[in-house]
Structures are given as C-alpha cells and as structure tokens.
Amino acid sequence: MMKPVLKWAGSKYKIIDKIIAVLPEGERLIEPFVGSGAVFLNTDYREYLLADINSDLINFYNILKEGGENFIEYCSAFFIPKNNSEKEYYRLREKFNSSNDIYERSALFLYLNRHGYNGLCRYNRSGEFNVPFGRYKKPYFPEKEMIYFIQKCRRSKVEFVVKDFRETMKEAKNGDVIYCDPPYVPLSATANFSDYASEGFGLQEQKELADLAKQLRRKGIPVVISNHDTEFTMQEYEEARIIRFQVRRYISCNGANRNYAPELLAVFYVAPKSSIELGINWFNLL
C-alpha cells in the first residue's frame, strides 16, 4: 500500500483494505471528497474523477500531476533546516495566504502540511490558512510518495476538479463507482473537525449526501460512504448495508486521549455473493 503525499486528518490509509474490499469493479471511480487521495492511490480503476471544495488541495494535485519531477524539486527547497522554525513557519504561512501564484502557493501548501500542527488543514472565516506551527524535529519530505502519485496519474485517466459534492455526484453514469469520505458527523459537540475548508459541512449536507446515495443506488450506480457510527448516520443510511469497525484516532494533542472511535462503511449497492468469501461482516438493514 502507498501512503498519501499529504498528512490529512481522517486519511483512509489505515483502513484502505476495508474500503477496497467493498468497492465493486467499474470503469471510473468518483470521489467527491478526495482528501488525502489514499483510495485513489491504492485502487486500480481506468479513470478517476477526484473532487473537493478545497481549491488549494486540488491545485496542489493538478500542479504535481502536470509539473512532475520539476515541481518536486521546487517543493524540496522549502524543506530545509532554516524553515523548520516558528518564525519562518509563520512568515511562510503569511506568504501562502497572500500569494496569487498557484505554483508557489501549491509548494507552500505542502510545506505547511508537513510543518504545521498534526497535518491539519484549517482556514479561518476569511479563508486564511491558520494552522499553528507543528514543532517537528525533522519534517518528512514525501518525495517517494510524490513520484508514485505522478506515475499513478500517468497510468490512468485522472481528473482533479474543484466542485461541490452535489455537482460531482450528479455527473455519475453507468459504469461509475462512487466513494465518499465527507467530513464526519461529530461524535460529540466538541469533536467537529469539518472546517478543513472555509465552508462548513453540517447535518443538512449529511442528509443531502445520503439522499443522493439512495438516488444513485436506485439507478444502479454503487455508492460507498465512510462516516462515524452514530444514531444519526444509522438513520440516514437505513437503505444501505453497514460495516462497523473501530478506528484509532490521531487528531488529539494528548496522546493519552487518542482512543478508538466507532466508524462505518455504508454500502449503497447489492452485495456480491463473493462477500462471504472475502470475510466481510455485512449488516443488512433493508
């Protein structure tokens, strides 16, 4: 399995085997919330439509895809000991927030991702990146992962777009498979990490996503959604097959509080007969 280029809260790398086990074959994989791209990197579809509302994220992916090895070299210039200090971090963060140069901004996006606290991607209400300095001894430069990403883009037909999940899912047609990794429904009132873009993602959006999945299922287009296992999600995903499991949380600043959290995969399509052979524990809620 290949790790993503970016550190990302909620990255699916650690549960990629569970996701791959339920994704059916198809011509194109659509991801309305591409995030770290872990599913894209570790699947083998002929085509991909990868979307997100975070323009910095999508611009970074497009620049890396098109810029190739030259962009990797440009990014590496920011990963020097001098820049791993609080003073330089905040100077470069300010430069990122004021820059209109997409190429420079994309390289700084990677720098901030690897030098900022816990790999968070967070913006204030003015749309400014506001993650504090991470204080890492030696931030990792993901050259190997960037090279793999470029090679993956060359092997498949890959399109990265800045689009709302509603627009993206409405583009689905027969032969497509959709995997959704939305900002999760919070487990508690103080556990909402949905502000990875300046726009939020509330319960109304969660309901709309579930409704779209139901509509697409009826059209014969498979949809798989990741989320927390809560009463709300169980109600909204009542037409899906549910796979429950526990995932270790790494977003807390206190290592002692990095406990396991209940998650689920909601599978909006008819389970293949081979599911039993794969060892998948299905809970048919139909």
Superfamily of domain 63-143: Adenine-specific Methyltransferase, Domain 2 (1.10.1020.10)
Integer angstrom CA distances of residue 145 from 16, 64, 69, 227? 16, 11, 12, 26
pLDDT in the model for residue 43: 98
Give me the pLDDT at residue 248, please: 81
Rounded Cα distance, 244 and 229, in Å:
7
Q: Which residues pair with 116 in a beta bridge?
A: 133
Q: What is the pLDDT of residue 197?
A: 43
> Would you state the pLDDT for residue 280?
46
**Amino acid (1-letter code) at residue 139:** P
∠ CA 244-250-254, nearest 5°, is 130
- Output the 3-class SS for 230-245: CHHHHHHCCCCEEEEE
CA 185 to chain centre: 15
Q: Domain locations in the chain?
A: 13-53+163-284, 63-143
Per-residue model confidence (pLDDT) at position 33: 97
Query: Is pTM, for the whole model, over 0.75?
Result: yes
Round to whole Å and give the CA distance between 49 and 65: 14
pLDDT at 11: 87
DSSP-derived secondary structure for 46-88: SEEEEEES-HHHHHHHHHHHHHHHHHHHHHHTT-SGGGSSHHH
**If 0-12 CB within 10 Å is exposed, 13-18 middle and 19+ buried, where does residue 173 land?**
exposed
What is the per-residue pLDDT for 194?
44
Coil vs helix vs strand at 143: helix
DSSP state, residue 279: T
Kindly report the CATH class assigned to 13-53+163-284.
alpha beta
Instruction: Return the ∠ at Cα 87 (arms to 84 and 92), rounded to 5°.
Output: 75
Return the sign of the alpha-carbon dihedral for residues 60, 61, 67, 70.
Answer: positive
> In the prediction, which pLDDT does 17 show?
96
pLDDT in tens, the chain (286 residues): 999 999 998 889 999 999 999 999 999 999 999 999 999 999 999 999 999 999 999 999 999 999 999 999 999 999 999 999 999 999 999 999 999 999 999 999 999 999 999 999 999 999 999 999 999 999 999 999 999 999 999 999 999 999 999 999 999 999 999 999 999 998 875 454 444 444 578 999 999 999 999 999 999 999 999 999 999 999 999 999 999 999 987 544 444 456 889 999 999 996 554 443 344 444 333 3
Give the HSE-up count for residue 259: Cα atoms under 13 Å, Cβ half-sphere: 5
Q: Which residues contact 228 (CB under 8 A, 6 or more apart)?
A: 184, 185, 186, 187, 261, 262, 263, 264
Q: 257: Cβ–Cβ under 8 A, 6 or more apart, which residues?
A: none
Residue among 95, 97, 84, 196 nearest 141 (CA):
84
d(CA 117, CA 113): 8
